[in-house]
């Protein structure tokens, strides 16, 4: 059985590349359009399996009964992800997302969650799901509906599993709504915008410290800081983990940041399973995310060998 289970969205992404984002009421020219598999949980699962190997990672999610569902299953299997816990909803379409990427590689994402919203707490209690959770080591929860995320986190904690939660769009519920589940986590991972949603603070470091200070538990809070790396906050302490410096690289140029956060989460979970301590796992996850930004595909995460090569190059340069 997979040692890492990832719960959350599986989407099909239509990505539009533009020179700059349009202002309200303005039309801009689309330079390029690509159609690729995405979804935060699927992206995260692929990022982890590229480090851990075939069938070490499984995904739990919901698709419709349509062409997108068939393609998603085939692609995930080819990547080496266990798809035996992907369910299908006959009354809903598979999820889709529309991603706009500007000339700097920054992105805007519009998601139609569709079947992803049909992952209910009842799914957690299915015998095959319970068995998979019991046999796993690490549970990565991304963006299933909040009540479902809470049921899963609560059950996994009772079993003593390592739990990583990247609530993503669920942060719009506010800190009080997610706080009751956060105390059961090992790691809470947010980007700066998500951290702002929970604290109303623009500064990711201060937001990380505030969230960490509001949790009376062992939970470590991680806030990603884009090209500045990430910050780790635990029990009143904080540490900045440096990024891979793309500006000094002659090989890597930012093309699209879409999916970089998912790569970070998947890589971090994989490196924790491999036994790395927190700061090293986060450092390597930063490198994985940076490499991803040099690629158009939302699931363009790197292999373990690629990450090690760039890590060694950075260490020699420093």
pLDDT digits (tens, 9 = 90+) for 274-296: 999 999 999 999 999 999 999 98
Is the pLDDT higher at 253 or at 286?
286
* Confidence (pLDDT) at 217: 76
89 neighbors 63 (Cβ within 8 angstroms): yes
Place of tokens 């079947």: 115
Instruction: Please tell me the least confidently modeled range out of 106-110, 223-227, 241-245.
Output: 241-245
Cα separation values, 238 from 135, 153, 279, Å: 33, 25, 11
Q: Quick one: which of 181, 229, 179 has its CA closest to 204?
A: 229
Residues written for the chain: 318
Residue 202 confidence (pLDDT) above 70: yes
249 pLDDT tier (thresholds 50, 70, 90): low
* Confidence (pLDDT) at 114: 95
* Confidence (pLDDT) at 310: 86
Average pLDDT over residues 125-132: 94
Compute the distance between CA of residue 182 and CA of residue 189 in angstroms, rounded to an integer: 11
Average pLDDT over residues 157-181: 92
Q: Record the tokens describing residue 265, joined without a space.
A: 């989460």
Give the contacts of 194 (CB within 8 A, at least 6 positions apart). Answer: 167, 168, 171
State what percent of residues in the chain have pLDDT above 90.
82
Residue 37 confidence (pLDDT) above 90: yes
Residue 186 confidence (pLDDT) above 60: yes
C-alpha 122: how far from chain center: 23
Residue 78 confidence (pLDDT) above 80: yes
* Confidence (pLDDT) at 317: 55
* In this structure, CATH architecture of domain 4-20+31-317: 3-Layer(aba) Sandwich (3.40)
* Rounded (10°) CA dihedral 48, 49, 53, 59: 120
* Confidence (pLDDT) at 116: 95
Compute the distance between CA of residue 83 and CA of residue 66 in angstroms, rounded to an integer: 16
* Confidence (pLDDT) at 205: 95
Compute the distance between CA of residue 211 and CA of residue 179 in angstroms, rounded to an integer: 9
Specify the pTM.
Answer: 0.93
Residue 318 confidence (pLDDT) above 70: no
Q: Quick one: which of 143, 185, 145 has its CA closest to 162?
A: 185
């Amino acid at each position: 059985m997979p040692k890492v289970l990832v719960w959350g969205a599986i989407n099909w992404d239509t990505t539009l590349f533009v020179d700059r984002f349009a202002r309200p009421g303005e039309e801009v020219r689309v330079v390029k359009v690509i159609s690729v598999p995405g979804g935060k949980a699927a992206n995260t699962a692929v990022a982890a399996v590229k480090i851990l190997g075939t069938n070490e990672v499984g995904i739990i999610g919901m698709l419709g009964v349509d062409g997108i569902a068939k393609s998603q299953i085939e692609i995930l299997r080819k990547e080496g992800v266990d798809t035996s816990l992907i369910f299908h909803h006959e009354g809903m379409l598979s999820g889709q997302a529309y991603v706009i990427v500007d000339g700097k590689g920054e992105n805007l994402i519009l998601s139609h969650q569709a079947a992803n919203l049909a992952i209910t707490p009842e799914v957690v209690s299915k015998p095959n799901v319970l068995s998979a959770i019991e046999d796993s080591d690490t549970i990565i929860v991304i963006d299933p509906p909040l009540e479902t995320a809470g049921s899963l986190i609560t059950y996994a904690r009772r079993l003593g599993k390592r739990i990583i939660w990247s609530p993503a769009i669920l942060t719009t519920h506010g800190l009080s709504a997610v706080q009751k589940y956060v105390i059961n986590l090992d790691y809470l991972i947010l980007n700066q915008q998500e951290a702002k949603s929970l604290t109303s603070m623009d500064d990711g470091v201060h937001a990380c410290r505030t969230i960490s200070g509001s949790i009376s538990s062992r939970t470590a809070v991680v806030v990603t800081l884009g090209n500045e790396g990430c910050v780790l906050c635990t029990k009143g302490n904080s540490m900045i983990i440096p990024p891979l410096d793309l500006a000094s690289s002659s090989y890597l140029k930012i093309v699209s940041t879409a999916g970089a956060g998912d790569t970070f989460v998947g890589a971090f979970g994989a490196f924790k399973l491999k036994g790395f301590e927190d700061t090293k796992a986060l450092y390597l996850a930063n490198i994985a995310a940076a490499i991803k930004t040099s690629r158009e595909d939302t699931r363009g995460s790197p292999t373990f060998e690629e990450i090690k090569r760039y890590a060694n190059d950075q260490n020699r340069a420093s």
